[in-house]
Amino acid sequence: MVQVLGINMSHYSAACLFRDGRLIAAIPEERLNRIKFSAAFPERAISKVLEIGGVHPSEIDQVAIGTRCEMFDSTLAQRGEYRKTTRMVSLLSQILPVRVVESDWLKQFYIHTLGAVRRYQFMSRYLDFFTSMGIPRSKLVYYDHHTCHAAAAYFMSPWRTRTLIMTADGNGDGDCGTVWMGEGESLECKLRIPSIHSLGGLVSRTTKFMGMAPWQDEYKVMGLAPWGDRKKAGPVVERFRKMWEVDGLGYRNRCGYAGDALVEYLRRTFKNIRFDHLAYGIQTILEEILSEWVSRNATHYQIGQLAASGGVFLNVKANKRIMELAQIDTAFWFPAAGDDSITIGAGILGTLAIQKKQNRPAFVAPMTDTYWAEDITPLIDPYLDHEDLTGFRVIRPENIDDLTAGILAEGEIVARCSGRMEFGPRALGNRSILADPSCLDNIHRLNAMIKCRDFWMPFAGTVLDTASDRYLRNPKRFPSPYMILSFDTLPETRRSITAATHQADGTIRPQILTESMNPGYYRVIRRFEELTGIGAVLNTSLNLHGDPVVNLPGEAMHVMRKSALNFLALGSCLIAKDNEETRVILSRLTPAG
pLDDT value, residue 14: 98
pLDDT value, residue 463: 98
How many residues does the structure list for the chain? 593
pTM: 0.97
DSSP state of 451: I
Chain centroid to CA 361: 31
Report whether 47 contacts 132 (CB < 8 A): no
pLDDT tens-digit profile of 52-102?
A: 999 999 999 999 999 998 888 888 888 778 778 888 888 888 888 888 888
Distance CA 184, CA 355 (A): 15
Distance CA 20, CA 347 (A): 11
Report whether 372 contacts 420 (CB < 8 A): yes
Report whether 347 contacts 17 (CB < 8 A): yes
| Residues whose CB falls within 8 Å of the CB of residue 385, separated by 6 or more in sequence, listed in order | none
pLDDT value, residue 593: 57
Measure Cα distances from 2 to 166, 324, 350, 392, 515 in Å. Answer: 28, 40, 10, 47, 31
pLDDT value, residue 592: 61
Tell me the three state secondary structure of residue 384: helix
Measure Cα distances from 9 to 49, 207, 350 in Å. Answer: 15, 23, 16
pLDDT tens-digit profile of 229-242?
A: 999 999 999 999 99
pLDDT value, residue 135: 97
Chain centroid to CA 96: 36
Return the closest-CA partner of residue 523 out of 399, 394, 420, 397.
Answer: 399
Beta strands per DSSP E along 295-428: 305-309, 330-333, 371-375, 392-395, 414-417, 420-422
Domains of the chain: 3-149+340-367 (3.30.420.40), 157-333 (3.30.420.40), 373-589 (3.90.870.20)
Report whether 366 contacts 155 (CB < 8 A): yes
Strand partners, 541: 432
pLDDT tens-digit profile of 525-559?
A: 999 999 999 999 999 999 999 999 999 999 999 99
pLDDT tens-digit profile of 301-328?
A: 999 999 999 999 999 999 999 999 999 9
In three state form, how does the secondary structure of 22-35 look?
EEEEEEECHHHHCC
- The stretches in the chain having pLDDT less than 70 are 592-593
